[in-house]
Amino acid sequence: MKPDILVLGSMWSQEMRDQLRQSFACHFMDAIPGAGDASLETIAGGIRAVLTTGMIGVTPELVASLPALEIVSVNGVGVDAVPLALLADKGIHVTNTPDVLTDDVADFAVTLLLSTVRRLPLLDRYVRDGKWPARAPLTHARSLKGKVAGIVGFGRIGQAVAQRLQGFGMEVRYFQRSAGPAPEQRSSSLLALAEESDMLVLCMPGGADTRHMIDARLLEALGPEGTLVNIARGSVVDQDALVAALRDGRLGAAGLDVFEDEPNVPQALFGLDNVVLTPHVGSFTVEARRAMGRLAVANLVAHFNGEPLPTPVV
Ligand code: 8YV
């Protein structure tokens, strides 16, 4: 008999759904069902695995309602939406999809940085709105070469971003709490990094440990000429402080792919020309999403075959 699995999220392609159905009895739900949801109650007792997205994760309530749960497979590298300690306590495995998305996410971080400093959306609007023939004034953008890029979180993605930015002639420094590679590039503190950097790229994991790590003081240190790029999680930035700093010109510019309450984005950002906004799409390529999906399924298949998990979260 195929194991019963709960598949959360609306982003699964037909290819993925067909592949999943070959090995599992699938119960698809767009989001985590609310308490007392009848459609979950009828199947909850038999669910042995949850396949979920990085953003949806699972809640402690959902875990409590699934007595036969053995494994949670996250289709994403970030596991901040998953109660890891609770799952470990219960002996429930957790897997994610590292590596296969690193290059595309790093490419996107650079795309967002360049779009922000070169103000690509503004220039596109300039042409579409017919301002070019009218010779409407435009101010010069800024270059990357010779500037300091500060990377917060120097894991796989942070290092891939650093490599790319070095290729643009930037000096790279980083900060993370734990020791990392290239100790000579590590700033003594996050505040020091913000003070030393022209552009700050956020690549750290989300979750309680990093919540609001980028606060008003940090933004102030980055300053009116500084640029912030966030491809990590909305939670790592104090969003109200960010909006205020951008609005008042205390922070130069920001490229934001992630937000505190997705898909809701503060209206106050919509009218600002020094901001580029994208809808959490760092890994949103055909190639990365296909590889992520396959790895997320491979983890489930390995578990039910009694084989080692390809990418357990440790
Ligand atoms: C996705 C992500 O948005 O990997 C992550 O942690 O944030 C993204 O790749 C998401 O996980 C897709 O399910």
- Residue of 11, 55, 284, 290 to test ligand 1 pocket, by largest number of atoms within 8 Å of CB: 55
Contact 292, 100 (CB under 8 A): yes
36 pLDDT above the threshold of 80: no
What is the distance between the alpha carbons of residues 107 and 110, in angstroms, rounded to a whole number?
5
Ligand 1 atom closest to the Cα of residue 56 is 13
Three-state SS for 186-227 is ECCCHHHHHHHCCEEEECCCCCHHHCCCECHHHHHHHCCCCE
Q: What are the tens digits of pLDDT across the range 3-20?
A: 999 999 998 999 899 999
Q: Assign a CATH topology to domain 102-277.
A: Rossmann fold (3.40.50)
The predicted pLDDT at position 34 comes to 80
Q: Is 75 in the pocket of ligand 1 (CB under 6 A)?
A: yes
Tokens representing 173? 């420094």
The predicted pLDDT at position 228 comes to 99
Q: How far is the CA of 303 from the centre of ligand 1 (A)?
A: 22
233 is catalytic: yes
From 156, 212, 280, 294, active-site residue: 280
Q: What are the tens digits of pLDDT across the range 142-185?
A: 999 999 999 999 999 999 999 999 999 999 999 999 999 999 99
CA-proximal residue: ligand 1, atom 7 (nearest): 54
In 3D space, the residue among 247, 223, 225, 243 whose CA is nearest the CA of residue 234 turns out to be 243
Q: How far is the CA of 89 from the centre of ligand 1 (A)?
A: 25
CA-proximal residue: ligand 1, atom 6 (nearest): 78
Q: What percent of the chain has pLDDT over 90?
A: 95
Helices (H), 43-100: 60-64, 84-89
What is the distance between the alpha carbons of residues 185 and 15, in angstroms, rounded to a whole number?
43
What is the distance between the alpha carbons of residues 313 and 143, in angstroms, rounded to a whole number?
39
Ligand 1 atom closest to the Cα of residue 76 is 4
**pLDDT, average across residues 30-44:** 86
**pLDDT, average across residues 182-209:** 97
* Radius of gyration (C-alpha) of the chain in whole angstroms: 21
Q: Assign a CATH topology to domain 4-100+286-304.
A: Rossmann fold (3.40.50)
- Residue of 292, 297, 313 to test ligand 1 pocket, by largest number of atoms within 8 Å of CB: 292
Q: Is 79 in the pocket of ligand 1 (CB under 6 A)?
A: no
Please provide the average confidence, as pLDDT, over all residues in the chain.
97
Q: Is 150 in the pocket of ligand 1 (CB under 6 A)?
A: no
Contact 95, 311 (CB under 8 A): yes
What is the distance between the alpha carbons of residues 78 and 100, in angstroms, rounded to a whole number?
13
CA distances from 37 to 42, 60, 68, 234, 256 (A): 9, 16, 18, 29, 35
Domain map of the chain by residue range?
4-100+286-304, 102-277
Of 16-20, 30-34, 261-265, 308-312, the least confident: 30-34
Topology agreement, domain 4-100+286-304 and domain 102-277: yes
**pLDDT, average across residues 109-138:** 97
Tokens representing 6? 């709960």
From 164, 233, 289, 303, active-site residue: 233
**Cis amide linkage into residue 67, ω under 30° from 0:** no
In 3D space, the residue among 162, 116, 104 whose CA is nearest the CA of residue 141 turns out to be 116
In our burial notation (b when 16+ CB lie closer than 10 A, e otherwise), range 129-144 reads: eeeeeeeeeeeeeeeb
Three-state SS for 245-300 is HHHCCCCCEEEECCCCECCECCHHHCCCCCEEECCCCCCCCHHHHHHHHHHHHHHH
The DSSP output letter for 89 is H
What is the distance between the alpha carbons of residues 29 and 293, in angstroms, rounded to a whole number?
17
- Residue of 32, 50, 73, 77 to test ligand 1 pocket, by largest number of atoms within 8 Å of CB: 77
Q: Is 54 in the pocket of ligand 1 (CB under 6 A)?
A: yes
271, burial (CB in 10 Å: exposed 0-12, middle 13-18, buried 19+): exposed
Q: Is 283 in the pocket of ligand 1 (CB under 6 A)?
A: yes
In the chain, count of helices (H) and strands (E)?
Answer: 11, 11
Q: Is 247 in the pocket of ligand 1 (CB under 6 A)?
A: no
Q: Is 280 in the pocket of ligand 1 (CB under 6 A)?
A: yes
